[in-house]
Amino acid sequence: MNSNFFSLSKITDQHIVQKILDAWFSKRIQLFLYFGGNGKKCRLSRCISPSLHIGGEQLISNGDEFYLSEDSKAHSILKFIPDLPLKSYLKITKGFKISRSIQGEYFNYEYAGTALGYWVVVPTKLAAFNNGNYILTDKESFSLKADSSGAVYVYSVYDEDYLIFDGDNGINNDDLYIDVNVLKSVFPSFNPDDKFNGVTDEKK
């Protein structure tokens, strides 16, 4: 799996960590959540084009698609392994909308499986109000919660595809990762090989 990510837990200067978090809260940079080991059991909600929908169930079951194929541009970053047989876990709905990645008719596939690798963590407007502790949620669950302090969404590299978690799943700042290239652009003196990663000389 891609190693071009750096854990915020390894940055010793908390002032710098806060700078990174502030940029994340204001949507100026992306942070990531890593699912290693055996991965994280959850559900994937994803948008499928009408052309892919024709053989979508078979492609997903065989692994010949975006979240499993070695030819996918996401292969080195993240994976989603579906529970099989897919038909037992698959819910399909048809929709229509115009967005950055969808231009008209689409099909929404939702199915259970295991997430692996680095997934984009997107803060809600209430993410900053829980003292560095966050709750993994999705838009539908977020609207139903009485208390959504610390809520964050977990997306794929496509902002139309996201993960759905059952129950309460908490993380904190130490679970977050930043792309090394983004970190270097903000803090040019950063060296991921240094034992001490105070990371100084913030870029103006």
Asked if the structure places residue 80 within a domain, the reply is yes
pLDDT band at 146 (very low <50, low <70, confident <90, very high): low
What is the distance between the terminal CA atoms of the chain, rounded to a whole angstrom?
Answer: 32
Asked if the structure places residue 88 within a domain, the reply is yes
86-109 pLDDT, tens digit each = 999 999 999 888 777 777 888 999
Position 199 scores a pLDDT of 53
Q: Mean pLDDT across the chain, nearest whole number?
A: 88
Q: Are 13 and 181 in contact (CB under 8 A)?
A: no
Asked if the structure places residue 39 within a domain, the reply is yes
Helix (H) or strand (E) holding 96, with range, is: strand 91-98
Q: What's the rounded Cα separation, in Å, for the pair 97 and 108?
A: 12
- pLDDT surpassing 50 at residue 196: no
What is the mean pLDDT of the segment spanning 5-31?
94
27-64 pLDDT, tens digit each = 999 999 999 999 999 999 999 988 889 888 999 999 98
- pLDDT surpassing 60 at residue 202: no
Number of domains within the chain: 1
Model pTM score: 0.88
Asked if the structure places residue 123 within a domain, the reply is yes
Asked if the structure places residue 17 within a domain, the reply is yes
Asked if the structure places residue 201 within a domain, the reply is no
Task: Report percent pLDDT > 70 for the chain.
Answer: 90
Asked if the structure places residue 197 within a domain, the reply is no
Which is it for the CA torsion 150, 118, 184, 171, positive or negative?
A: positive
Of 13-22, 48-57, 129-138, 143-152, the least confident: 143-152
Asked if the structure places residue 152 within a domain, the reply is yes
Q: Give the range of the structural domain holding residue 105, as residue numbers without chain letter.
A: 5-186
Helix (H) or strand (E) holding 46, with range, is: strand 31-48
- pLDDT surpassing 90 at residue 186: no
